[in-house]
């Protein structure tokens, strides 16, 4: 095993992992945003979606990756000013990373720094009102409604209009879960088949979309994460049914050339 990587020793593994995140994000920014003119919000979404998981299987490694992932998520979505200032450099050295990350930890963005551009306004809106980044067709909406009612995701049957509003994050009132584990497993399956954003837990939480099955309190990211872990430890037939129906939803995508 190497004792040093990017100039860091083994005692700084966590910081090393974060440095690699910064370095990879910078390289992609240079290639896609600077080189190809890719929209910043598309760059952010693609970067986060392609770095959700880790090869580490130990708890410490998975926790480290999760922490670093959310640091990068906040950096890219909330501190575009820092990203533009440092990632615009052709080369990002380790000393730049240290200064950039220190600034991220100790400063706040100027209230007026993003208001001057339409892109800044978009990021401010998407940061406060995250969405599922999905576009279901009418067949898929029908399938989702049917499965929701078939496996009793919610305390009462839902209509297609409510399903559309749910995924548009514009429900008049939150839906009540019939079983938090089923809800979490269903949304995770949609994510697995790349039908919704990998940030679905955060999106449900921040938009206040679903009430917990036990109490009339909103499901937050922590409760959804716990429910998902519990669901994955259960091999009940309802979860196999959900998996098969989500495959069907995925198969009914509309591909456009």
Q: What is the average pLDDT across 8-34?
A: 77
For the CA atoms of 231, 44, 202, 172, the dihedral, rounded to the nearest 10 degrees, stands at -120
| For range 55-59, the mean pLDDT | 84
Q: Would you say 109 and 143 are in contact if contact means Cβ atoms under 8 Å apart?
A: no
| The predicted structure's pLDDT at residue 61 | 84
**61 burial type by CB count under 10 A (0-12 exposed, 13-18 middle, 19+ buried):** middle
pLDDT digits (tens, 9 = 90+) for 156-179: 999 999 999 999 888 889 999 999
- C-alpha span between 122 and 109 (Å, rounded): 16
What is the structure's pLDDT at 167? Answer: 93
**Predicted pLDDT of residue 129:** 61
Name the pTM for this structure: 0.53
Give the model confidence (pLDDT) of 98-135 as tens digits.
Answer: 999 999 999 887 665 544 444 444 444 444 567 888 88
């Amino acid at each position: 095993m190497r004792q040093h990587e990017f100039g860091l020793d083994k005692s700084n593994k966590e910081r090393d992992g974060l440095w690699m995140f910064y370095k990879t994000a910078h390289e992609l920014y240079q290639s896609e945003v600077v080189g190809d003119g890719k929209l910043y919000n598309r760059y952010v979404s693609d970067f986060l979606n392609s770095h959700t998981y880790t090869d580490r299987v130990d708890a410490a490694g998975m926790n480290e990756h999760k922490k670093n992932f959310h640091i990068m998520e906040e950096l890219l979505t909330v501190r575009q000013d820092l990203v533009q200032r440092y990632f615009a450099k052709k080369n990002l050295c380790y000393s730049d990373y240290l200064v950039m990350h220190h600034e991220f930890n100790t400063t706040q963005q100027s209230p007026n720094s993003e208001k001057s551009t339409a892109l800044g306004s978009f990021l401010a809106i998407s940061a406060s009102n995250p969405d599922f980044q999905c576009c279901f067709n009418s067949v898929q909406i029908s399938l989702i409604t049917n499965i929701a009612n078939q496996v009793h995701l919610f305390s009462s049957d839902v209509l297609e209009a409510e399903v559309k509003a749910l995924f548009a994050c514009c429900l008049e009132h939150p839906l009540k879960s019939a079983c938090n584990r089923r809800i979490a497993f269903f949304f995770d399956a949609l994510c697995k088949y790349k039908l919704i954003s990998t940030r679905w837990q955060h999106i449900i939480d921040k938009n206040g979309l679903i009430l917990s099955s036990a109490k009339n309190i909103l499901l937050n990211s922590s409760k959804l994460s716990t429910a998902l872990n519990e669901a994955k430890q259960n091999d009940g037939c309802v979860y196999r049914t959900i998996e098969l129906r989500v495959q069907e939803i995925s198969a009914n995508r509309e591909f456009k050339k």
